[in-house]
């Protein structure tokens, strides 16, 4: 008995060391949980069961129950799975367990069990393929084959789990050459030459057209041989339509010329003509070449696309072309015309004071600017929440999901903690209250996430907290930069999440690139020795603010240019200024920024700064733009 206990105690210590260095600050239950997970992973059931018995009331025992069985679902019936998984239904674990069971049931062709757990089509493509096989086994051929058709009509290969469904669907005579052709066109757009070639082998009556499509994919310049494509055949017209879209990427002038030629010969249907015109006009608008302006304007009314129309409107704004702006605003859909952006430009083009008054009631960039133009106060529409009582705080903190999140935070499992928090907020009627609790606890990023997940847009105190106050204030003082501006930048960049990382490599609160950090630290003699310091608020705020200060100095205090450069880089600002050539006012320059991300970034940061000051300052809120920014010729 003594010997067994010694072995057991030694094994617990080893498991704790294997997983991670266990902090002395961890509770006994937390240490036992870490050791239990290690024992379970290593297959030491004896130690695992002994440890687990010590964790009966521990919040994360749910995760032990999950991992204990998740790899052994193959023998379960639907009723057995339902009984076991019921414990996970109010946690993020349930969907993972359900997915694993359905995959197992599908592989084993246990269709009744599958449909018992998933009576409607799942989201996963793999599971959808199993679902429609289950429908076929149940005898609902119509539902099964309709689903198979939808899944098959995709421009790339589908998972192998779909092969059986597709085979049964095809063998039933449901696969026509018309469907094969549709998928070849989808594969063309998806740049899947291998799939196109594979599909072409199944064509019988239209082998020539299939080969023509593959040839044009390889060399769209073949479309110049118009005699080769003169046949009155909808499939040939499809080849020309999709080929022109590809040709436009490399030779727009030739694409326009050929489009006109084929159009005059009556090759296209109305829809094909519209699709080709859309591709050509969009490419011309991206290139911003005046050579194509008359062609763009003549084709724009037939295209019926807000995306393309907005690109043309921005060109008109960039050129101070009021006539074109007025001409093309009505081409927007009714929904797009009601957006604050186009409400502003409509009001400006007509000098419509009543429309401007209506716009000034909105809490956004254009609403704030409209209010300034009318010399009115900004409208915040702020939903002030009553303070949480101590009793309310205690009740919220006893929520199982909150307790699990706390434990993951204590174990430094930040990803798992965030998953639990997001699930809690998305499935609770107390989202704003949890946001308040997060502020009290010093977790501003979780408060912000609570408003995003619950779409609580009017709870401004939760959406715009002064996060990491000491670090942000110290950085603002060190670099003599407005505190609300750097808060606005951090809010837009990371939603105040200090561990945020972008796919491009930007890190931390203000999403600083490591190379930029090194340059900035050297420029201002800031403490900085390694990239991981960017995940610490005090370093990130200091360096990010230093870089923003550098940009302000570079642009003589012009925040529009500095904020734009913070997002897109100084070289792009230089090219946009050169293109504008000193002919644009502030609003027109911002609207003419070609990158949607940067355009919306500038507008958001400037607007967020207004909201921050309105919420946290007792003084008068500064205007959207300074006098020098308004007077600058962009």
Question: What amino acid positions are annotated as catalytic residues?
Answer: 493
Cα dist from 12 to 3, 51, 63, 121, 453, whole Å: 14, 8, 19, 45, 40
Distance CA 604, CA 433 (A): 26
Instruction: Evaluate whether 436 touches 587 at the Cβ level (below 8 Å).
Output: no
DSSP track, 416-462: HHHHHHHHHHHT-S-HHHHHHHHHHHT-HHHHHHHHHHHT-TT-HHH
Which of helix, strand or coil describes residue 512?
Answer: strand
Distance CA 360, CA 369 (A): 7
Distance CA 418, CA 445 (A): 10
Buried residues in 474-504 as b, exposed as e (16+ CB within 10 A):
ebbeebebbbbbbbbbbbbbbbbbbebeeee
Cα dist from 385 to 394, 409, 417, 436, 460, whole Å: 18, 27, 26, 9, 10
Cα dist from 302 to 106, 258, 272, 331, 550, whole Å: 48, 18, 12, 10, 47
Tokens of 464: 């715009």
Residue from 454, 463, 440 nearest 614 by CA: 463
Residues recorded for the chain:
634
Residue from 63, 58, 7 nearest 30 by CA: 58
Which residues, in sequence order, are CB contacts of 254 under 8 Å at separation 6+?
Answer: 221, 224, 247
Cα dist from 102 to 48, 73, 97, 130, whole Å: 28, 10, 9, 8
Query: 191: how many CB neighbours lie within 10 A of its CB?
Result: 12
Note the Cα 591 to chain centre separation in Å: 22
CA angle, corner 194, sides to 189 and 197, nearest 5?
90
Note the Cα 551 to chain centre separation in Å: 28
Query: Over 398-423, what HEC string results?
Result: CCHHHHHHHHHHHCCCHHHHHHHHHH
DSSP 501: B
Query: 505: how many CB neighbours lie within 10 A of its CB?
Result: 12
Tokens of 374: 């009318």
Tokens of 471: 């670090």
Tokens of 566: 């913070």
Which residues, in sequence order, are CB contacts of 542 under 8 Å at separation 6+?
Answer: 471, 474, 475, 478, 479, 526, 527
């Amino acid at each position: 008995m003594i010997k067994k206990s010694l072995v057991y105690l030694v094994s617990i210590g080893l498991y704790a060391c294997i997983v991670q260095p266990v902090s002395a600050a961890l509770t006994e239950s937390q240490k036992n949980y870490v050791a239990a997970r290690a024992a379970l992973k290593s297959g030491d059931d004896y130690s695992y069961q002994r440890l687990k018995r010590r964790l009966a009331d521990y919040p994360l025992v749910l995760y032990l129950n999950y991992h204990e069985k998740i790899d052994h679902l193959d023998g379960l019936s639907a009723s057995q799975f339902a009984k076991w998984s019921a414990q996970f239904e109010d946690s993020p674990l349930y969907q993972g367990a359900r997915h694993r069971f359905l995959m197992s049931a599908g592989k084993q062709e246990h269709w009744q069990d599958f449909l018992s757990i998933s009576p409607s089509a799942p989201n996963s493509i793999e599971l959808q393929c199993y679902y429609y096989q289950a429908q076929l086994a149940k005898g609902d051929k119509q539902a099964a084959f309709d689903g198979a058709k939808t899944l098959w009509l995709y421009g790339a290969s589908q998972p192998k789990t779909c092969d059986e469904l597709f085979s049964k669907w095809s063998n039933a005579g449901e696969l026509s050459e018309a469907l094969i052709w549709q998928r070849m066109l989808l594969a063309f757009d998806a740049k899947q030459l291998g799939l196109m070639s594979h599909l072409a082998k199944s064509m019988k009556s239209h082998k020539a057209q299939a080969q023509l499509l593959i040839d044009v994919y390889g060399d769209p310049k073949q479309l110049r041989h118009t005699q080769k494509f003169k046949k009155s055949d909808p499939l040939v017209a499809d080849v020309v339509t999709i080929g022109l879209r590809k040709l436009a990427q490399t030779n727009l002038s030739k694409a326009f010329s050929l489009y006109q030629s084929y159009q005059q010969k009556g090759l296209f249907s109305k829809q094909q003509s519209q699709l080709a015109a859309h591709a050509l006009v969009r490419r011309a608008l991206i290139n911003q070449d005046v050579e194509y302006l008359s062609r763009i304007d003549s084709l724009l009314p037939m295209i019926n696309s807000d995306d393309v129309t907005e690109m043309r409107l921005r060109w008109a704004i960039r050129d101070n072309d009021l006539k074109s702006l007025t001409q093309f605003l009505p081409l927007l859909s009714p929904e797009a015309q009601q957006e604050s952006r186009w409400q502003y430009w409509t009001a400006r083009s007509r000098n419509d004071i009543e429309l401007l008054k209506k716009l000034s009631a909105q809490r956004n960039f254009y609403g704030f600017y409209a209010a300034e133009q009318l010399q009115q106060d900004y409208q915040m529409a702020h939903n002030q929440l009553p303070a949480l009582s101590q009793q309310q705080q205690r009740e919220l903190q006893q929520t199982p999901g909150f307790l699990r999140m706390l434990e993951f935070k204590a174990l430094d499992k930040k990803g798992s903690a965030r998953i639990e928090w997001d699930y809690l907020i998305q499935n609770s009627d107390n989202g704003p209250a949890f946001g308040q609790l997060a502020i009290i606890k010093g977790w501003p990023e979780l408060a912000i996430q609570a408003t995003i997940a619950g779409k609580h847009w009017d709870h401004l105190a939760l959406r715009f907290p002064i996060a990491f106050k000491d670090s942000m204030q110290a950085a603002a003082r060190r670099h003599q930069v407005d505190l609300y501006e750097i808060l606005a930048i951090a809010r837009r960049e990371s939603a105040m999440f200090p561990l945020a990382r972008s796919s491009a490599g930007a890190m931390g609160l203000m999403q600083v690139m490591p190379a930029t950090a090194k340059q900035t630290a050297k420029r201002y003699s800031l403490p900085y020795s390694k990239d991981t310091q960017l995940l610490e608020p005090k370093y990130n705020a200091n360096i990010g603010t230093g870089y923003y200060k550098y940009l302000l100095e570079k642009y003589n205090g012009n925040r529009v240019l500095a904020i734009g450069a913070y997002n897109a880089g100084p070289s792009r600002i230089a090219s946009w200024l050169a293109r504008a050539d000193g002919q644009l006012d502030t609003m027109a320059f911002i609207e003419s920024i070609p990158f949607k991300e940067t355009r919306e970034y500038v507008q958001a940061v400037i607007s967020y700064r207004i909201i921050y000051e309105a919420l946290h300052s007792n003084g008068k809120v500064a205007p959207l733009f300074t006098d020098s920014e308004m007077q600058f010729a962009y």
